[in-house]
């Protein structure tokens, strides 16, 4: 990246960096829409009670209040968060669940949506972790039930979307909460949420410390802790994980259900996204609303960045009376991805502005005629600017060069037109009604660099 943001945790991009981000966003939109996902946007603000009803992350939530506040504006009362106070959303899944409940009568189920918005979290800023950042989510939500096949489809859509981005190779690391919880119950550990929270710390603190936490916090025996860690150590690129789990000698009905579901996901991925998916039985996901498939995605060679895409199955996040809206979805950390692309020089925009042509001025009185030329070019989709001053042509060409504009348009006194490619110096006769730049120059191209190719 060219610079560091002046306010930590709130990134701002230079124009050429923003073009890379826009390319990422446009690519994701295109892939999501090709698979039939429709776009929605939810409000940035939710009630505190809504945000905190699944999973305890209250330390990361930004409360919202007026500078000239009265008592009713204060998000914290008596040392506790007021459930009716307003706060900025920390992800897009919880607001989406509220959106589905409130609009259920207007939606067609299964409802397929994608959502690309900013979210806010009060985290300690570092690369890959910002306080304001953009996420891109896709979800499928059912009314009463949702076939498991959507778990498989979501993983395949995300694999396709990530494959279209200018990033290094990646792996979707997939597990199933039913598999994990059934296994823990099968070995006599009933506080499955507690076990999952500790297993989720494996990559941060290592197996020895996780084993110690299982024993001291949950009362696990040495044998139970060993079994839990043996399960978490299983990683395969195919369905051979099933035999490895069975070899651990644990029986449980929920375990069997989770094994079957994970086998279906991995089997489909091996066929349709070979080399992109890994069965990783250490993946737990910290939020409490996941009930089945869980996913975390890492860039190969950039694992220290953390997950760039995560999510899973949730059967009870959204409900309205006795009516349940189960769903499955994944969220891509767009800002985390773009930050890594820019900081590691993984991709670059072909120019710093959208403009392909600068129409030069012979003299100040020619500005109106230059605007006519520009209008003709724009009518055929060619991004065009008109020079502001009738300086010497050399200065107008230098201006275009500084802006990154590849072509300069000249109109002679007799009304003929010429266009100059200032990169090569070639200048040819042209007509504004018919001339087109090469396809690669018509719009900004975002290209993977040699640096990115070397990391794959």
Q: What is the pLDDT of residues 384-393, one digit of tens each?
A: 999 999 999 9
Show the tokens assigned to 103. 């609009």
Q: Let me know whether 230 and 179 are in one domain.
A: yes
CATH code of the domain containing 183: 3.30.930.10
- Regarding whether 330 and 250 lie in a shared domain, the answer is yes
Domain presence at residue 453: no
Query: Is 388 found in the same domain as 432?
Result: yes
pLDDT digit string, tens, across residues 360-386: 999 999 999 999 999 999 999 999 999
Tell me how many degrees the CA angle 120-121-127 measures, rounded to the nearest 5: 100
Same structural domain for residues 26 and 50? no
Residue 456 within any structural domain of the chain: no
Residue at 57 is within a domain: yes
For the chain, give the percent of residues with pLDDT over 90: 78
pLDDT, tens digit, 9 for 90 and up, residues 13-29? 999 999 999 999 999 99
**What is the rounded CA–CA span in Å between residue 252 and residue 246?**
11
Domain boundary among 348, 367, 400: 348
Residue 31 has pLDDT above 60, yes or no: yes
277-280 and 170-176 strand pairing: parallel
Q: Is residue 238 within 8 Å of 270, Cβ to Cβ?
A: yes
What is the pLDDT at residue 240? 97
Cβ neighbours of residue 451 under 8 Å, at least 6 residues apart? 344, 345, 346
Any domain includes 435: yes
pLDDT tens for each residue of 271-303? 999 999 999 999 987 556 789 999 999 999 999
Note down the domain range covering 84: 45-88
Last residue of a domain, one of 301, 321, 348: 348
51 and 156: one domain? no
* CB hemisphere CA count around 245 (13 angstroms): 31
* 410 is a domain residue: yes
How confident is the model at residue 49, as a pLDDT?
86
Is the same domain home to 72 and 211?
no
- The answer to whether the peptide bond before residue 396 is cis (omega within 30 degrees of 0) is no
Phi, psi of 175 (to 5 degrees): -135, -175
Q: How do the residues of the chain divide into helix, strand and coil, expressed in percent and rounded to 5?
A: 40, 25, 40
* Three-class SS state of 210: helix
Residue 5 included in any domain: no
Give the span between the Cα atoms of 88 and 51, in whole angstroms: 9
Judge if 249 and 394 occupy the same domain: no
**Are residues 337 and 414 both part of a single domain?**
no
By the 10 Å C-beta count (0-12 exposed, 13-18 middle, 19+ buried), 107 is classed as middle
Q: Are residues 20 and 63 in the same domain?
A: no
Tokens, residue 428: 């040819």
Q: Domain check: are 69 and 28 in the same one?
A: no
In eight-state DSSP terms, residue 37 is P
pLDDT score of 223: 95
* Cα separation, 24 vs 338, whole angstroms: 8
Looking at the structure, tell me whether residues 253 and 311 fall in a common domain: yes
- CA 400, CA 351: separation in Å to the nearest integer? 11
Domain count for the chain: 3
Asked whether the predicted pLDDT for residue 433 surpasses 50, the reply is yes
Residue at 10 is within a domain? no
d(C-alpha 199, C-alpha 9), whole Å: 28
- HEC states along 316-343? EEEEECCEEEEEEEEEEEHHHHHHHHHH
Alpha-carbon distance of 67 to 73, in angstroms, equals 9
Over the stretch 123-166, which tens digit does the pLDDT of each residue have?
888 877 899 999 999 999 999 999 999 999 999 999 999 999 99
| Same-domain status, 73 and 153 | no
Strand, helix or coil at 425? Answer: coil
Whether residue 70 lies inside any domain: the answer is yes
């Amino acid at each position: 990246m060219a610079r560091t943001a002046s306010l930590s945790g709130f990134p701002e991009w230079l124009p050429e960096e923003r073009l890379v981000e826009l390319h990422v966003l446009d690519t994701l939109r295109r892939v999501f829409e090709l698979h039939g996902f429709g776009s929605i946007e939810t409000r940035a603000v939710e009630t505190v009670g809504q945000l905190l009803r699944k999973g305890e992350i209250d330390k990361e939530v930004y409360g919202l209040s007026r500078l000239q506040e009265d008592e009713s504006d204060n998000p914290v009362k008596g040392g506790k968060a007021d459930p009716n106070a307003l706060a900025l959303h920390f992800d897009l899944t919880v607001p989406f669940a509220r959106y589905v409940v409130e609009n259920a009568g207007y939606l067609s189920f299964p409802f397929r949506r994608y959502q690309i918005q900013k979210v806010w979290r009060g985290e300690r800023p570092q690369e890959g972790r910002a306080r304001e950042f953009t996420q891109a989510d896709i979800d499928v939500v059912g009314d009463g039930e949702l076939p498991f096949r959507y778990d498989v489809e979501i993983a395949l859509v995300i694999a396709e979307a990530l494959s279209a981005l200018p990033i290094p190779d990646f792996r979707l690391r997939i597990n199933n909460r039913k598999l994990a919880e059934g296994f823990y119950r099968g070995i006599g550990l009933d506080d499955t949420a507690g076990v999952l929270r500790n297993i989720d710390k494996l990559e941060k603190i290592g197996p020895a410390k996780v084993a110690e936490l299982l024993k001291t916090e949950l009362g696990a025996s040495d044998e139970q802790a060993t079994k839990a860690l043996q399960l978490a150590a299983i990683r395969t690129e195919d369905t051979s994980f099933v035999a490895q789990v069975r070899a651990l000698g644990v029986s449980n009905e929920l375990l069997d259900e989770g094994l079957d579901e994970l086998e279906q996901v991995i089997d489909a991925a091996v066929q349709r996204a070979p080399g992109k998916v890994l069965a990783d039985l250490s993946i737990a996901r910290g939020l409490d609303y996941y009930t089945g498939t869980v996913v975390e995605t890492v860039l190969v060679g950039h694992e220290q960045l953390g997950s760039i895409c995560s999510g899973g199955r949730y059967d009870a996040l959204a409900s309205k009376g006795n009516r349940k809206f189960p769903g499955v979805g994944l969220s891509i950390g767009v800002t985390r991805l773009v930050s890594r692309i820019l900081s590691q020089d993984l991709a670059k925009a072909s120019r710093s502005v959208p403009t392909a042509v600068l129409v030069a001025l012979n003299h100040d009185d020619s500005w109106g005629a230059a605007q006519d030329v520009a209008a003709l070019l724009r009518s055929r989709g060619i991004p065009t600017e008109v020079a502001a001053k009738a300086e010497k042509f050399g200065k107008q060409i230098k201006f275009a060069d500084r802006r990154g504009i590849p072509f300069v348009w000249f109109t002679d006194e007799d009304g003929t037109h010429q266009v100059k490619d200032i990169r090569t110096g070639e200048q040819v006769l042209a007509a504004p009604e018919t001339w087109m730049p090469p396809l690669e120059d018509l719009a900004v191209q975002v290209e993977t660099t040699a640096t990115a190719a070397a990391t794959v």
